[in-house]
Amino acid sequence: MKNFSKINIFFGWGLFAIALITYTSTVEPTTSFWDSGEFISSAYKLQIPHAPGAPLYLLVGRMFSYLSFGDSGQVAFWVNMVSVVSSALTIMFLHWIIIMLGRKLFNIKKEDETRPQFFLLTLGGAVGALAYTFSDSFWFSAVEAEVYAFSSFLTALVVWAILKWDLISDDAKAKKWLIFIAYLIGLSIGVHPLNILAVPSVCLVYYFKKYKTSSRGIIYTLAISGGLIVLLMFGLRLGLVGMAKHTEIFSVNSLGLPFGAGAIFFSLLLIGALLYGILYSIKKQKVILNTALLGVAYLLIGFGSYGVIVIRSNFNPPMDPNNPENLPNFIAYLNMEQYGTRPLLHGPDFTADIIGHKDLRPAYTKGDEKYETPYNKFEYIYDPARTSILPRIYSQQDPHKQAYRDWLGLKEGEKPTFADNLKFLFTYQLGHMYWRYFLWNFSGRESDIEGAGWLAAWDGDKTLPNKLASNKGRNNYLMLPLLLGLLGFLFNVRRDFRSFSVIGILFLVTGVILVLYLNSPPVEPRERDYIYVGSYFAFAIWIGFGAMTLAYYLQKWLKRPQWSWPLATALSLAIPGIMLVENWDDHDRSGRYYSVDFAINTLQSCPPNAILFTGGDNDTYPLWYAQEVEGIRRDVRVVVGTYFTADWNIEQMTRPSYDSEPLPFSFEKDDFKRGVNDYVYARLNPKFDSGIDLKQYLKLVKDEHPALVQKTADGDRFTLTPSKKLRLAVNKQAIMEKGIIPAGKMNYLQDSMEFIVKGNGFHKGDLMQLDLITHNNWERPICYTFTATMNSGLDFGDYLIQQGQTFRLLPIKNPNPQDDFIDIDTMYTNLMEKFQWRGLDDNSVYYSDYYQGQLRTPRNNFNSLAEVLLEAGDHKRAEEVLNESLSVIPDDTIPYDITTARTVGLLLELGDKEKATNIAATLMERADEELTYYLDNKVPAATMPIRENLFIMNHLTRAFRSHQMEKPAARFEAVFLKFIRRIEAG
């Protein structure tokens, strides 16, 4: 058919426009929770994100940020648009990929298409591309600043490029495409290593074109492609850089050359070897060698984007994790050493005892004149009786151990078998962590609640509680995308084994095989469906084939294009249409600002020039965004507790940052470098049961007193504490003169503070925190988020007073640790005057279950403040606080939750019985509905939703009874007891 190529290009760009409009309409206007805040901040100022980095993404994000034209409030939107544009481009290339593979499926030659064949190809390409456009996981990544959308685009581009190469008969032109593919793979590593998983499909296309097909040939090709993946993942990223590192260390340590000389020499040697090889191949007319060497050269050019990481790290930006400014640090950054390792082929189960350890290679760090080896890296040796091949239940963390037992049905003390190992693989890692996600995208999803299952077509008629029925994340596609994809899958198997192999290996490698490689632990901080979008991409090709198959048989059976074509179009396009309608409301992030307001409110909770300790991604990354991009409260120094155990992070805290001065440590670099004071073991001495003086203890540790700092014959160093109680003397007169004690709290001022070691010791970060507290002399406020106090190895909660969304450390002690300890005036000012709540009163804005969960904290903060105001007899302000809470976080946007039961009791204290009764009735009705559903569906009684609803019922019953409102109390109690009896009856 004439002009097919032009029409095909037009359709591709049309689908790009549809995707672009869809994603632009639903993109988040600012940063979201999780990694987006970090990526936006890193891209805006070319700083360093967490390992293993994404330098190409940063460069592109930086260019997009210029479109904000100096408006810092628009930077996040434009960096989010990197994902929007990348995703739309992915859809365009997916359409063209389906067209090219569809030609093979139906043996259609280019520029020789009939009208029915044109219709067949175009319909399949459009339906497959649109199904992927509106799929749950891909849409999720398309509207926020993350690397997965950009990564998907580069994967699509690689697959499209190898299919274009397959169509070219001129070897000279085809060679250019292979080199282009090598360059793309090199570039893609600078976004996310997942792109390497397209290599097996690329190799199969190459094999099918160049060689006669055989089973042995396919096996060899897949084996070679597996070797290439290993070579790219470990040879290029780690092996080549590792060789450069060893050359650098030898040059500096053995030859006495300046830092960087070895790296330069290795780079010149590598470039020289490549140039020599390329010139040799040209001279000797060795085409394959020439193509391979040029491919390697362009691969390295693409990988060269990582130079951004090293260059920018040398400028010591505020965000500089792992400090990858030299080769030893850089390779540790690439290798993600801070995250530890997971056993893949052989390892222990979670009950294995550690029976020893073996030293590995030295850990090098840059010293003043040469590279030093403060310690050797090591790995534990486990009881061989508790090790096996393919270890899946390996984690020794206590929460993980219990989760393994729950999944496997093991009792405490019961040892797992290899069968349990396989059971966890198939039920959790494959079933829960892959197939559930797969079916979310092509069958349906129960809700956006963490751990939600998938929906089948027959699940639509269930009677549901309002929480699930009205959940915008409940999407039912009637299994139609799945069935259409399976139709395309079966037709592909029967008609064209070659294209099936190419698609199938992409599907398996980016799905099931990736699951085996990741070896997920039993507890994840959030759903991980976005990791597997590569396999959903492959299945979308089969959906396109399914549409072609449907059209093919309708043409064959009806034999009248005027009937078959419209019918095939309507039936096929209805499927992505259903996905669009179902998914729009829970993927529309427009109008959502709470992640940034949360960060602003946290920073505003801190006094001027404060030091703020945070404990996790979501109380850190949004704060970084607020400071780095929007310039909010740069006087506050954010210290990430999980990073603060590392010497590079502590050293960063010794430098000024924006309006924040260096932290006042007494410890110097030699006291906190790697291998020194990494962990403090509690080796208790009965003489010090009553505690030891903290200031003196820190001085003795700094002086390496032999009673506290011990070294073994093999060079290992141990730091000890003889007591679990570390006391810090307080100069009460100096404290009073500083005026830092909140009003009404002077009676709680202490002569000394006592820091308690929680377990058998504490990490370097806790030791540095004690040093900071001791030598800060109460000059700068020290504050904590809630998660920071939970993750600490020290207990000092009695000395924390809440001032908003943070807690300030002061030498005053909570007289009753079970009660809230609040700086009333400061917290009132923060909550009522300083805090922002944009969009929370707009019920058209989508707030996922996770966002709703994040709003429990401010609701609880309002409750806590109102309670202490009531205790102080300040009923007027207590009423204002509760009304503000109900106003800024209303039920029709953020439904009432477990914290609202407490609100009801406080309203009763105020005498507002009508409002309390109305809210209580709503809570009880919902709890009744949800508990009925959960128990009817045999949900275990120990699960959180059941426990929370029972708590709500019981709390409301007690609250009304305590205020002599017996009638509603009796009604609530009757409902509560009804469910207790059901649970007891089993």
What is the token pair recorded at 671? 């006291």
Ramachandran class of 809: left when φ > 0, alpha when ψ lies in -120 to 50, beta otherwise: beta
Helix (H, G, I), strand (E, B) or coil at 421: helix
DSSP 538-553: HHHHHHHHHHHHHHHH
Helix (H, G, I), strand (E, B) or coil at 35: coil
DSSP 431-455: IIIIIHHHHHHHTEES-SSTT--B-
Whole-number pLDDT of residue 825: 94
Whole-number pLDDT of residue 713: 58
**Cβ neighbours, 10 Å, residue 816:** 8
Kindly report whether the global pTM for this prediction surpasses the value 0.85.
Answer: yes
Cis peptide before 656 (omega within 30 of 0): no
Which of 782, 444, 830, 841 lies closest to 613 in space, CA to CA? 782
* CA atoms of 978 and 253, how far apart (whole Å): 76
Let me know: does 289 contact 281? Beta carbons within 8 Å: yes
Burial classification of residue 256, based on how many CB atoms lie within 10 Å of its CB (0-12 exposed, 13-18 middle, 19 or more buried): exposed
Let me know: does 253 contact 261? Beta carbons within 8 Å: no
What is the token pair recorded at 21? 């409009």
Residues 6 or more apart whose CB falls under 8 angstroms from that of 434 comprise 511, 512, 515, 532
* CA atoms of 131 and 153, how far apart (whole Å): 16
First vs last Cα of the chain: how many Å apart? 69
Read off the pLDDT of residues 790-827 as tens digits, 9 standing for 90 and up.
Answer: 878 898 889 999 999 999 999 999 998 888 899 999 99
Let me know: does 23 contact 143? Beta carbons within 8 Å: yes
DSSP 713-741: TTS-EEEEES-SEEEEE--HHHHHHHT-S
Helix (H, G, I), strand (E, B) or coil at 899: helix
Percent of the chain residues past pLDDT 70, beyond the cut: 99
Which of 390, 456, 321 lies closest to 49 in space, CA to CA? 321
Helix (H, G, I), strand (E, B) or coil at 15: helix
Confidence class for position 238, pLDDT limits 50, 70, 90: confident
Read off the pLDDT of residues 541-564 as tens digits, 9 standing for 90 and up.
Answer: 999 999 999 998 988 888 777 788
**Cβ neighbours, 10 Å, residue 365:** 20
Whole-number pLDDT of residue 160: 96
Whole-number pLDDT of residue 984: 84
Alpha helix locations (H) across 460-593? 466-469, 480-495, 497-509, 512-518, 533-558, 561-587
Read off the pLDDT of residues 429-462 as tens digits, 9 standing for 90 and up.
Answer: 999 999 999 999 999 999 999 888 999 988 866 7
Whole-number pLDDT of residue 706: 86
* CB half-sphere exposure, 955, CA atoms < 13 A: 22
Whole-number pLDDT of residue 715: 59
DSSP 226-240: HHHHHIIIIIIIIII
Whole-number pLDDT of residue 714: 58
Whole-number pLDDT of residue 172: 83
Whole-number pLDDT of residue 558: 82
Confidence class for position 977, pLDDT limits 50, 70, 90: very high
More confident residue, 364 or 283: 283
Helix (H, G, I), strand (E, B) or coil at 822: strand
Tell me the average pLDDT across 706-721: 77
Which of 950, 981, 953, 983 lies closest to 969 in space, CA to CA? 953
Let me know: does 838 contact 594? Beta carbons within 8 Å: yes
* CA atoms of 115 and 603, how far apart (whole Å): 64
Q: Is the pLDDT of residue 414 over 70?
A: yes
Read off the pLDDT of residues 927-960 as tens digits, 9 standing for 90 and up.
Answer: 999 999 888 888 887 788 889 999 999 999 999 9
Whole-number pLDDT of residue 1: 60
* CA atoms of 949 and 900, how far apart (whole Å): 12
Whole-number pLDDT of residue 69: 93
Whole-number pLDDT of residue 2: 67
DSSP 396-442: --HHHHHHHHHHHTPPTTPPP-HHHHHHHIIIIIIIIIIIHHHHHHH
Is 1.10.3470 the CATH number for 837-985? no
Residue 726: phi and psi, rounded to 5, are: -115, 115
* CA atoms of 804 and 810, how far apart (whole Å): 15
Helix (H, G, I), strand (E, B) or coil at 615: coil
Tell me the average pLDDT across 148-171: 93
Residues 6 or more apart whose CB falls under 8 angstroms from that of 155 comprise 90, 188, 194, 195, 197, 198, 534, 537
* CA atoms of 115 and 600, how far apart (whole Å): 59
* CA atoms of 120 and 103, how far apart (whole Å): 10
Read off the pLDDT of residues 466-481 as tens digits, 9 standing for 90 and up.
Answer: 888 889 999 999 999 9
Whole-number pLDDT of residue 710: 81
Read off the pLDDT of residues 849-872 as tens digits, 9 standing for 90 and up.
Answer: 999 999 999 999 999 999 999 999
More confident residue, 661 or 112: 661
Let me know: does 583 contact 569? Beta carbons within 8 Å: no
Q: Where are the domains of the chain?
A: 4-317+482-587, 594-827, 837-985
Tell me the average pLDDT across 271-282: 92
Mean of pLDDT over the chain:
91
Residues 6 or more apart whose CB falls under 8 angstroms from that of 592 comprise 28, 29, 30, 32, 839, 845, 846, 847, 851
Confidence class for position 114, pLDDT limits 50, 70, 90: confident
Tell me the average pLDDT across 241-248: 89
* CA atoms of 300 and 196, how far apart (whole Å): 14
Q: Which DSSP helix (H) or strand (E) runs through 297? A: helix 287-303
Whole-number pLDDT of residue 944: 86
Q: Is the pLDDT of residue 249 over 80?
A: yes
Whole-number pLDDT of residue 712: 65
Alpha helix locations (H) across 799-874? 824-829, 849-854, 856-871
What is the token pair recorded at 369? 């004149």
- The CA-based diameter of the chain, rounded to the nearest angstrom, is 99
Whole-number pLDDT of residue 926: 93
Let me know: does 682 contact 755? Beta carbons within 8 Å: no
Tell me the average pLDDT across 160-171: 91
* CA atoms of 672 and 669, how far apart (whole Å): 5
Whole-number pLDDT of residue 688: 85
In the beta sheet, which residues pair with residue 752? 729
Read off the pLDDT of residues 610-662 as tens digits, 9 standing for 90 and up.
Answer: 999 998 888 899 999 999 999 999 999 999 988 998 889 999 999 999 999 99
Whole-number pLDDT of residue 836: 94
**Cβ neighbours, 10 Å, residue 562:** 8
* CA atoms of 724 and 701, how far apart (whole Å): 15
Whole-number pLDDT of residue 674: 83
Tell me the average pLDDT across 916-933: 93
Whole-number pLDDT of residue 937: 84
